[in-house]
Amino acid sequence: MNKDRATRRDVLKTAMAASAAIFPLPAIAQGTAERVVVIGGGFGGAACARALKRSSAKLSVTLIEPNRVYTACPMSNAAIAGLRELTSQEFGYGRLQGEGIDTVFAAAESVDAAARSVTVTGGQRFEYDRLVLSPGVDFRWDALPGYSREVAKTMPHAWIGGDQIALLARQIAAMEDGGVVVVSVPVTPSRCPPAPYERASLIAHMFKTRKPRSKVIVLDAKDSFTMQRQFQGAWKQLYQGILEYVSLSDGGLVTEVDPVSKVVSTDFDKYKPAVANIIPQQKAGTIAELAGVADRTGWCPVDPITFESKLQANIHVIGDAAIAGAMPRSASAASSQARICAAAVVALLSGNKPQAPTLNSSCFSLIAPDYAISQTGRYRPVGDLYTEEASEISPVDAPQNLRAREASDAEAWFTATTAEVFG
Ligand SMILES: Cc1cc2nc3c(=O)[nH]c(=O)nc-3n(C[C@H](O)[C@H](O)[C@H](O)COP(=O)(O)OP(=O)(O)OC[C@H]3O[C@@H](n4cnc5c(N)ncnc54)[C@H](O)[C@@H]3O)c2cc1C
């Protein structure tokens, strides 16, 4: 842990002040009508579209997103465990439209980098001077035998907002007391690395309070994970006998699923859970591959100052899809990158040199309604990648009042960040 660090409170204050303090950007040259198209209306894309439009009313900003309602993943584990209404995860685009952002509710199907154009479902074409991609993650459907897009309808991943989160919540609510939920955790890189363990914790909380004979088993494709000592300390304290953790070395790697018999197989065992939450291996959203900005890893290499793709000129990639070095794949990082990218796009369109940025990320994990831990960091570009400049993780041994304060900080962070992006 770095001594010269941003405290969690500092980072939270930064997030809460962000809408007022960070969005104003230098206006681009008046009289021009440059066109920026943004693909993906999540934490990265919506924040970027907004920051771009606020930089200059004359800038033409088009946001392409298939869904009229965005379902946020942060705090969704609480909704899955019945601690929160699913509707509190939902956000529309009315405010962005009111600010003059053209919103197209369709999926981008192709990008012609040479012609600088995007084609959406139905064939409509949009030309751009600069394109920003923030499509989030997609799954490596071929990585786990037996699992597929179709099977996810009965064994949900709940790793992308929308129906999947509601489906997993329904399955767990309907489960008989005495049943088992398996949460299968993939290898990294993946979206929000602590979130599977947060999910298992909150499901365990639900069982402790409402289905005391039930159990949650975490099958992990890894031997270690972020904030492991904090999570495992809490599990010992709160969920002994309810939550079981199986690491890679102990046989946690899921090797196959059978949607008919509902069996989840590992190298050593076969599980027949009442509910199987299978989180597959991930890669950048498919449109990144189609645009030619994803490399062989499936993720998108970018210039860390401008977020411009290293593979295609005039296309920027932010959020989970981008390779941003030490920065975690989080909503906090995505919205922070969005503002830096918007400033860079504006500078480039004006013929100015973008400034080297410092970025913040803060990630809270709820373990019980009044018990949370967190990880915050400050990052800056060194060479080609973001390097961690300062970081702080919740202490392993902390009094309950600190855990409770972090739980209310988590809620405050979510309210501030979603207001900044969609409100
Ligand atoms: C269970 C869970 C809990 C989490 N908790 C936290 C947390 O506590 N804190 C935190 O900071 N982060 C958290 N995250 C991570 C966070 O949700 C992501 O890092 C964040 O959403 C990334 O933003 P993004 O813009 O890259 O992608 P997204 O927010 O997923 O947005 C991508 C958007 O692109 C759209 N899209 C995709 N393809 C196309 C296309 N072809 N055309 C048009 N649009 C397209 C999608 O519809 C989507 O709206 C959590 C994630 C999960 C799964």
Domains of the chain in sequence order? 19-136+285-355 (3.50.50.60), 151-278 (3.50.50.60)
Is pLDDT at 357 greater than 80 in this prediction? yes
Q: What is the CB < 6 Å shell around ligand 1?
A: 39-45, 64-67, 70, 73-74, 76-77, 107-108, 134-136, 159, 191-192, 195, 285, 287, 319-321, 329-332, 334, 363-364
Which pTM does this prediction carry? 0.93
pLDDT attached to residue 72: 98
pLDDT attached to residue 161: 84
Kindly state the DSSP code that residue 232 receives in the 8-state scheme.
Answer: H
Is pLDDT at 283 greater than 60 in this prediction? yes
CA of 207 to the centre of ligand 1 (A): 28
pLDDT attached to residue 32: 53
Is 23 within 8 Å of 50 (Cβ atoms)? yes
Atom of ligand 1 nearest to the CA of 328: 19
Tokens 């010992």 sit on residue: 236
Task: Give the mean model confidence (pLDDT) for residues 306-316.
Answer: 98
Q: How far apart are CA 74 and CA 89, in angstroms?
A: 8
CA of 419 to the centre of ligand 1 (A): 16
**Closest Cα to atom 23, ligand 1: which residue?**
43
**Closest Cα to atom 5, ligand 1: which residue?**
74
Is 164 within 8 Å of 156 (Cβ atoms)? yes
CA of 308 to the centre of ligand 1 (A): 20
In what order do the strands lie in the sheet containing 275-278? 243-246, 215-220, 180-185, 275-278
Q: How many CB atoms lie within 10 A of CB 296?
A: 5
The string of pLDDT tens digits covering residues 118-163 is 999 999 999 999 999 999 999 999 999 999 999 999 999 999 988 9
**Alpha-carbon distances, residue 33 vs 99, 278, 405 (angstroms):** 16, 46, 47
Atom of ligand 1 nearest to the CA of 334: 23
Longest Cα–Cα distance of the chain, Å, equals: 68
Is pLDDT at 265 greater than 90 in this prediction? yes
Assess whether the previous peptide bond of 357 is cis (omega < 30° from 0).
no
**Closest Cα to atom 29, ligand 1: which residue?**
42
Q: How far apart are CA 236 and CA 242, in angstroms?
A: 10
Is 358 within 8 Å of 336 (Cβ atoms)? no
Atom of ligand 1 nearest to the CA of 159: 53
Burial of 85 (0-12, 13-18, 19+ CB in 10 A): exposed
CA of 175 to the centre of ligand 1 (A): 28
Q: How far apart are CA 203 and CA 48, in angstroms?
A: 34
Kindly state the DSSP code that residue 28 receives in the 8-state scheme.
Answer: P
**Closest Cα to atom 17, ligand 1: which residue?**
73
Tokens 């199987």 sit on residue: 276
pLDDT attached to residue 4: 36
Beta strands 125-127; 254-258: pairing state: unpaired
Is pLDDT at 13 greater than 60 in this prediction? no
**Closest Cα to atom 27, ligand 1: which residue?**
136
The string of pLDDT tens digits covering residues 17-66 is 443 333 434 444 445 579 999 999 999 999 999 999 999 889 999 999 99
pLDDT attached to residue 31: 52
CA of 279 to the centre of ligand 1 (A): 15
**Closest Cα to atom 3, ligand 1: which residue?**
74
Task: Give the mean model confidence (pLDDT) for residues 221-240.
Answer: 98
Nearest to 413 by CA among 14, 47, 12, 78: 12
Task: Give the mean model confidence (pLDDT) for residues 180-208.
Answer: 97
Tokens 């989160």 sit on residue: 165
CA of 73 to the centre of ligand 1 (A): 7
pLDDT attached to residue 5: 39
